[in-house]
Structure 1
Amino acid sequence: MSAAVQGLALARTYFVELVSPVLRQEFPNLGYAAARLGTGSDVLGLDDEMSRDHDWGLRLQLFVGERDVDRVSVTLDQQLPQRFRGFPIRFGMSGDPTERVRIDVSTLDRFAQENLGFDPRGDPSPYDWLSLTGQAALDVTAGEVFRDDAGDLTALREALVWWPDDLWRYLVACDWQRLDQELPLMQRAGDRGDDLGSRVIAGRLVDVAMHLGFLLCRQWAPYSKWRGTLFTRLPLDPAIGTALGQALRADDWHARGAHLASALEALATHQRRIGLPSATPVAVPFWDRPYLHVDPHLVPELPDSIDDPLVRDLPPGLGSIEQRTDNVDVLMHPARRRAALG
């Protein structure tokens, strides 16, 4: 196998050529699902040579019935060799240096709870959904499924294709509200000579605009390391990314405001094209000051298009957990995400 192989291709070959034959021989009647899901840049197809220094290699997820978890785990540990295609089968990972087989054998229900905090195949509440991050969704929906006898893993992934429609509209409104709140502040700070403060606010606004772009394209936003990479692959006007980059590089607040306004106008145009309420222009004068803010009619119009009374009653502007905080120690833990929503 090529030294440049990516993790997903390696996982697929590992399953087909080694793991699947062992399971077929030892458990001929076993029904199960096999995949490469969860954490890791390889799940997103973004791993490279540098990715191999930690948490990369022969990794799989196997989903079996509760009574089969232990016996399958023990058998794989006993039957698998030391290496496959030159890669170690047993290795340590960050947070767990024990050298062991990195095939996570579990039940699908437990996997859903541990990664999402709820099961989207059931009847989750709006707050269950709001506790979801884009990265948590990608941990389940990205990657690749190699076998799914009962179809349950496929059903779980399909249940996470996207937000329920009314919640999607609510989240879009929340991002516009966040943009409206700080766009004039970015300009005001710069106008008063606080260039550093203006740049910091501009950085936040760019991140919110990128998050909005993922929402409008109905694609889950990854965590910060890969957000820019996947943003460039969204089916958006390339001028949006160009304008956001120019806003970050601008040397004065006037230029920052102009570039951000240009990006927001293009996002609003895309929003109109996909059938959501929008505004033209979306960036309008802020009182009598030489600044811009979001058209005040836009944010209220989005909730007006929501039918579900539970979603209509959600607090305006608060949004999902990843719209409320960027604290990694919250976003990485489903129980903390849910608790933080109140």
Structure 2
Amino acid sequence: MSHSEAAFLPGLELSRILYEEAVRPLLDAAFPGLPYAAARIGPGSEVLGFDTARSADHDWGPRLDLFLTAPDLAAHGDAIRRLLADRLPKEIRGWPTHFRPADDPLDPVGHMEATDGPVNHRVAAHDIAGRLTRETGFDASAAEPGVRDWLAMPQQRLAGITGGAVFHDGPGLLTTARRRLAWYPEQVWRYLLACQWQRISQEEAFVGRCAEVGDELGSAVVAGRLVRDLMRLALLLERRYAPYSKWLGSAFAQLDSAESLLPSLRGALAATGYPERERHLCAAYRAVAIRQNESGLVEPVDPSPRPYHGRPFLVLHAERFARPLAASVTDPELRSRPLTGSVDQWADSTDLLMSERGEALRAAEAAVTGR
């Protein structure tokens, strides 16, 4: 059976089967007592639980991450890779474990059907400290992140490290790292909420101003930006890391607040004129503002939209929510920072946010904050 005929399985389930039925027996027999963790984390739609049969056309399939200490990886890494290449089955549940080489010009990330010879598998052995540092710029298996670590870690990276599944963790280091990164400390969370409200305050009046000068396209574009910021704010309020744009709507749809917010957010995007666009945005502002008040983080703020100074535009004046949140931050390092937030509150370049160069993110963050 070719993989095109195999029944689709969620990628995490396929990874679990690969580990339990193929990889674990080989490791137990060849390396008894070797401490390691086995998981499927990091990039990939299956890690977030959003993969479908469409995902199987590239960079998807029976995949697994093995995590060892640096000395154990140096001592056994090559032998593990050779063992799996020689002994892994050619397929799991009808899905080939054999992938095209990364430099194959035909399809650098696709499956190859079962062939004679070694399996070009996607079971990757990592030094746990090195992998965490490449993903987030920080080794959370060794210590708690500091303020600068949190602000330099993109939410997509955090979602990938804390999502997915861990099938085995002998040393416990991966589990410790995932626990440390599960969500922001309260002080960082308050600061990021303040920064997100501040972002909204900066553009909410532009929807009306663009329309006033006849720029309906510009008004719609700003409305779209505000909808995106409101979605990310709702995720923050419900303690969920926001994935990148492809899966933002899917993650948002899982929130408790999604059902009540979706009509107004969709309405703002579908509106063909300013009055309707403003009406839907104001409904969304109010709903998210009420959620903020219900969090109990600060004293409630009136969630009613109001005119923008003397202009005929209704806005929330979202800075009214940013100010008390910022004032509630007591951490000295956070209190002294401008309300620019974390790296993905002031940058949306995929190449930057998904790069494996933690120091580059820190340098960019320092350039923005002056620290």
TM-score scaled by structure 1? Answer: 0.95
Larger displacement relative to structure 2 (64-73 or 108-117): 64-73
Aligned residue pairs: how many?
341
Q: Which residue of 2 aligns with 1:119?
A: 139
Q: Which residue of 1 aligns with 2:277?
A: 256
Deviations 1:297-336 (A, max 9, x none): 32211111111111111112x1111110111111111433
Letter of the structure 2 residue corresponding to residue 148 of structure 1? D
Percent identical pairs in the alignment equals: 40
Superposed displacement of residue 74, structure 1 = 2.2
Distance in 1, matches of 2:304 and 2:76, equals: 57
Deviations 1:246-291 (A, max 9, x none): 0001111122122111111111111111112342135321111111
Superposed displacement of residue 108, structure 1 = 1.1
Where in structure 1 do 4 or more consecutive aligned residues deviate above 6 Å?
93-96
Given the alignment, which residue of 308, 312, 331 partners 1:286? Answer: 308
Aligned ranges for residues 71-220 of structure 1 at < 5 Å?
A: 71-92=79-100, 97=108, 100-121=120-141, 122-220=143-241
Alignment check: 8 A CA contact 1:34 1:61 kept: yes
In structure 1, the residue corresponding to 2:206 is in which secondary structure?
helix
Deviations 1:97-148 (A, max 9, x none): 3872101101211110111111235243322211112210111111111000
Q: Which residue of 2 aligns with 1:242?
A: 263
Alignment check: 8 A CA contact 1:54 1:94 kept: no
Structure 2 unmatched ranges of 5 or more: 113-119, 367-371
Alignment check: 8 A CA contact 2:89 2:97 kept: yes
Alignment check: 8 A CA contact 1:6 1:42 kept: yes
Q: Does 1:16 align with 2:20?
A: yes
Taking a change above 3 Å as real, the CA distance of residues 94 and 78 of structure 1, as seen in their structure-2 partners, is closer
Q: Which residue of 2 aligns with 1:338?
A: 362
Taking a change above 3 Å as real, the CA distance of residues 190 and 95 of structure 1, as seen in their structure-2 partners, is farther
Deviations 1:76-110 (A, max 9, x none): 22222322332211203777738721011012111
Given the alignment, which residue of 289, 294, 303 partners 2:326? Answer: 303
Structure 1 unmatched ranges of 5 or more: none
Superposed displacement of residue 6, structure 1 = 1.2
RMSD, aligned CA: 1.8
